[in-house]
Structure 1
Amino acid sequence: MNPFDPTVHLPDELLERIRERAPIHDRDNTFPEQDLEELRAAGYLSILVPAARGGAGLSLAQAAILQQRLASAAPATALAINMHLVWTGVAKVFSDRGVPGLEFVQDGAVAGEVFAFGISEAGNDLVLFGSDTEAAPTADGGYAFTGTKIFTSLAPVWTKLGLHGLDTTSPDAPKLVFAFVERTDAITTSDDWDTLGMRATQSRTTRLNGAVADAAHVVRRIDAGPGPDPIVFGIFSVFEILLASVYTGIARRAIDLAVHAASSRRSKKTGAAYSQDPDIRWRIADMGLAYDALPPQIAALARDVDERVDNGARWFVLLSGVKHRAITMAKHVVDQAMLVGGGGSYFSSNELSRLYRDVLAGAFHPSDPESAHATAASAWLGPLES
């Protein structure tokens, strides 16, 4: 088998064009539509779709490598595309395990559709296990959704929104309903995305006022709360792995920039390059030691998903753990890179300054630090006594 070549799916020339546009979208607080169009033309939206359905047929492990590479050029573009790839990744989890229902996501991705992720809700710390959005059954087997979703990346461009809501009226209620809705007048997107970092994701608030998913696009209907359904495992595994990949890619870029700064700056005191300064060398070594642990961890967990390894209840601590370690590592690395870069890195036009702001977003994605630690504590100590 030939080794995986990420430049086939994300060529250097495309990556550089995306890198050049990143500071413009950050400065202007705009969505990178040209990035999306070029990625769509390159087949990037369907990298996780099986070749038999017209996609690239890549594994989750290979997609994770590509997302690290994309994030090294434009973190916000990578994070936005992540949300589309989550749904195509969940569709892959389903098809790999013989579970029907998400073939329309695979076919849509090949046709150029953009799938957004409408799960997050303000104040809902149940995340996948509950929803404040009302899911009202319709006469033809579909559902009408009413509620508010936050952090909806790809807001200006998505064509289908994957979301969940709670059915409280059916005879067997309550049931969590996972479905996809079209962009219609029943959906309002607020122009409220003005943030510290990850600005180009345009992860705006989405208000649903009876947005209808027809029966063919109702994917799962399950009990609320933790459970073994493949929709929960699929979303959680793909989301955490690809999220860890984006922040690991940010860390890699920060190291590269720090190495360049250390090699190109010279000390007035000694005349030597800062790369010869013992303190700078220790700092960059510390960054490298922290970074090197993450790509193998991401690759190992992604392979387990691809190969259908049964990690049982440990899946949740493994997945939340790799995401938590990735964002913690990335923030540490960017902090160190800022110091290596010197005072110039504090200017907003400096790439390290943008990475510094972007990396802060990592702590707000599920699983947040509190949730990750609670999951780990339960894994090692058992659940809290009631």
Structure 2
Amino acid sequence: MSFLSPELVERIHSRAADVDRENVFPRDDLADLRDAGYLTAFVPAEFGGGGLTAEELCAEQTRLAEAAPATALGINMHHIIVGLGRHLVASGVESGRQILEGAMAGEIYAFGISEPGNDRVLFGSTCTAVPDTSGGYAFSGLKVFTSLSPVWTTLLTYAQDDSEPDGPLSVFALIDRDDPGVSIKDDWDTLGMRGTQSQSTLLRGAHAPRHRILQRVAPGPSTEPVVFGIFSYFEVFLAATYLGIGNRAIAVAAEKVKTRRSVLHDDVYANDPDIRWRLAGAAVRMNSATAEVTLLARDLDEGRDRGNLWYPQLSAAKNAAAEASIYAVDQAIRATGGSSYSNSNELSRLYRDALAGLFQPSDQESLHGAWANVVLGPRT
């Protein structure tokens, strides 16, 4: 089942350049996606949703990113949190039900995990969570890259509780947008992915009551449902989104070189062996990354046990997709010539959007650190 008709994809694509140029949130895209049922596509059927598998949603996200990368990346964060709800419920953590029920009721979820300068990302927060007598928490600190900032209704976030005698705990919770302790900065003016409008979110004692606390766990990588649920869906859906950028870049370049002519050879560049090699090489990289992401999504759907390789392999898939997309756009630009250097050229926008993949977790330093531990064991 597909929620993204060709007509819907084309409408979204027709707006992408204006969204990027004007540095605004794509509200018309959101309205169209909501009308198509896409915001509940990943909610299980027993909760009233579309019931797509992770593998199916990855394919949808790739198609959406081919049309408008920033729109896909923003909506991606909502889907990740729905995925977390699925994983919590499947793992017997009843607090996850409210995520799925909220999505069906029209909630739009935002991803409030990243913090400035914190390279532990999901595995230890620099923000604070102070417990109250009713079992809730007050959250304080700065969260960055909060996609969907103009429209989200509920924030998934976490912070550290230092009050426990046996050591700190990471507290994961849902916070309502209208809480007086929540403020959103107008600070999104970036090189690419401009339509995500991923403003910073400042928490000053923002309150999550007891029923909005998802889990309290020890910091660090773990098999705890809240940690693995966030990490796994973040990596595969992010990877799927970047696949769309690379695919689109190759498609744009392929059409261009079929009409761009060489004066020297008196022929179209599509017949030039060097140009054919460039675009074929990009397609090979994209093919390999797609296979990697698809297999991981399928294993998540089937609940396969990859043991201690889950985290490094998820990180590897995200990096493979991000790097392949950057390579594909680079080769597409080289193949199509100087016209792609213009801001009005779609390849210029795709290039800027693809670069965002360098900064999103897991970055290459984290990836190689994880795999060094797999190959060599922990540092002594």
Question: 2:298 corresponds to which letter in structure 1?
Answer: R
**Partner Cα distance (1:225, 1:272) in 2:** 58
For residue 65 of structure 1, the aligned residue among 41, 55, 59 is 59
Question: Which residue in 2 is equivalent to 1:132?
Answer: 126
Structure 1 residue 207 and structure 2 residue 212: aligned?
no
Query: For each residue in 1:166-210, what CA deviation from the matched residue of structure 2 results, as whole angstroms up to 9, or x when unmatched?
Result: 111244441110000001231111100000000000111110011
Contact 1:338 1:345 in 2 (8 A): yes
Question: 2:202 corresponds to which letter in structure 1?
Answer: R
Question: 2:338 corresponds to which letter in structure 1?
Answer: G
Q: Following TM superposition, by how much is the alpha carbon of 1:237 offset from its aligned partner in structure 2, in angstroms?
A: 0.6
Structure 1 residue 158 and structure 2 residue 147: aligned?
no
Question: Which residue in 1 is equivalent to 2:113?
Answer: 119
Question: Which residue in 2 is equivalent to 1:50?
Answer: 44
**Partner Cα distance (1:171, 1:283) in 2:** 59
Question: Which residue in 1 is equivalent to 2:363?
Answer: 368
Query: For each residue in 1:221-265, what CA deviation from the matched residue of structure 2 results, as whole angstroms up to 9, or x when unmatched?
Result: 011222221111111110000011111110000010111011121
Question: Which residue in 2 is equivalent to 1:37?
Answer: 31
Q: Following TM superposition, by how much is the alpha carbon of 1:214 offset from its aligned partner in structure 2, in angstroms?
A: 1.1
Question: Which residue in 2 is equivalent to 1:100?
Answer: 94
Query: For each residue in 1:72-131, what CA deviation from the matched residue of structure 2 results, as whole angstroms up to 9, or x when unmatched?
Result: 000000000111010001111223333321111111111221000000001111111111
Query: For each residue in 1:254-293, what CA deviation from the matched residue of structure 2 results, as whole angstroms up to 9, or x when unmatched?
Result: 0101110111212222321111111111111111111111
Alignment length, in residue pairs? 379
Question: 2:173 corresponds to which letter in structure 1?
Answer: A
Structure 1 residue 245 and structure 2 residue 240: aligned?
yes
Query: For each residue in 1:362-381, what CA deviation from the matched residue of structure 2 results, as whole angstroms up to 9, or x when unmatched?
Result: 01000011000111111111
TM-score (norm 2): 0.98
> How do 1:200-349 residues align onto structure 2 when only pairs under 5 Å count?
200-349=195-344
| SS of corresponding position for 2:262 | coil
Structure 1 residue 110 and structure 2 residue 104: aligned?
yes
Identity of aligned residues (%): 49
**Partner Cα distance (2:90, 2:41) in 1:** 15
Q: Following TM superposition, by how much is the alpha carbon of 1:305 offset from its aligned partner in structure 2, in angstroms?
A: 0.8
Structure 1 spans left out of the alignment, 5+ residues? none
Structure 1 residue 191 and structure 2 residue 186: aligned?
yes
Question: 1:337 corresponds to which letter in structure 2?
Answer: A
**Partner Cα distance (2:153, 2:265) in 1:** 58
Q: Following TM superposition, by how much is the alpha carbon of 1:141 offset from its aligned partner in structure 2, in angstroms?
A: 1.1
Contact 1:255 1:337 in 2 (8 A): yes
Contact 1:43 1:110 in 2 (8 A): no
Contact 2:340 2:346 in 1 (8 A): yes
| SS of corresponding position for 1:87 | helix
Question: 1:378 corresponds to which letter in structure 2?
Answer: N
**Partner Cα distance (1:48, 1:350) in 2:** 34
Question: 1:188 corresponds to which letter in structure 2?
Answer: S
More deviation, 330-339/103-112: 103-112
**Partner Cα distance (1:322, 1:170) in 2:** 36
Q: Following TM superposition, by how much is the alpha carbon of 1:299 offset from its aligned partner in structure 2, in angstroms?
A: 1.1
TM-score (norm 1): 0.96
Structure 2 spans left out of the alignment, 5+ residues? none
Question: 1:96 corresponds to which letter in structure 2?
Answer: A
Contact 2:290 2:321 in 1 (8 A): no
| SS of corresponding position for 1:132 | coil
**Partner Cα distance (2:106, 2:28) in 1:** 14
Question: Which residue in 1 is equivalent to 2:14?
Answer: 20
Coordinate RMSD, CA, aligned: 1.1
**Partner Cα distance (1:100, 1:318) in 2:** 28
